[in-house]
């Protein structure tokens, strides 16, 4: 399988996982609205009409446009990267899967379906979804790949 095949498989798998989990959680919670999984993790229904952490509410078309532009930018970066490396494919695949998963929600529902609620007592992290996790993991992999000692662009110690 070539690099674009690997990337496509990662993106497709991520999007299917994201959309399937959103569907299952929203079907289940349609009657209960909340499921306390542990003392720090709950599943809740949340319709995010804004951006990350719910900023700029009601600007769905702006976020759709931004998402499409980001997809093109990510593909442009991927085209110029070392596509043979697994880390490149995983990082880019995760970010693309997350972006596509949330874009599907924006196009289909005019909001993003969030449901993961992490909390300690009454302090809650903003609600998020699996697509957001994929984006964070992908960006983290990109940062690690870029900043790790011995990675391209990092100075090496010479004896």
Active-site residue, selected from the candidate residues 18, 105, 117, 132 = 132
Domain segments of the chain as ranges = 3-147
Would the pTM of this model clear 0.85, i.e. be above it? Answer: yes
Report the number of secondary-structure helices (H) and strands (E) in the chain. Answer: 4, 4
> Which residue reads 């880390």 in tokens?
87
User: What is the per-residue pLDDT across 94-122, written as a single tens digit (0 to 9) for each?
Assistant: 999 999 999 999 999 999 999 999 999 88
Active-site residue, selected from the candidate residues 18, 105, 114, 117 = 114
- Asked if 114 is an active-site residue, the reply is yes
- Asked if 132 is an active-site residue, the reply is yes
Mean per-residue pLDDT for 62-68?
Answer: 93
């Amino acid at each position: 399988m070539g690099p674009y095949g690997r990337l496509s498989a990662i993106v497709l798998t991520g999007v299917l996982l994201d959309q399937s989990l959103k569907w299952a959680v929203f079907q289940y919670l349609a009657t209960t609205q909340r499921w306390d999984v542990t003392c720090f993790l709950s599943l809740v229904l949340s319709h995010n009409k804004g951006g990350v952490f719910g900023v700029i509410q009601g600007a769905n078309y702006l976020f759709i446009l931004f998402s499409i532009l980001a997809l093109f930018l990510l593909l442009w970066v991927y085209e110029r990267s070392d596509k043979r490396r697994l880390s490149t494919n995983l990082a880019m695949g995760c970010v693309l899967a997350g972006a596509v998963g949330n874009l599907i929600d924006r196009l289909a529902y005019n909001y993003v379906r969030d449901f993961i609620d992490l909390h300690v007592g009454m302090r809650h992290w903003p609600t998020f979804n699996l697509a957001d996790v994929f984006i964070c993991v992908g960006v983290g992999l990109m940062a690690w790949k870029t900043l790790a000692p011995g990675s391209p662009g990092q100075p090496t110690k010479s004896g």
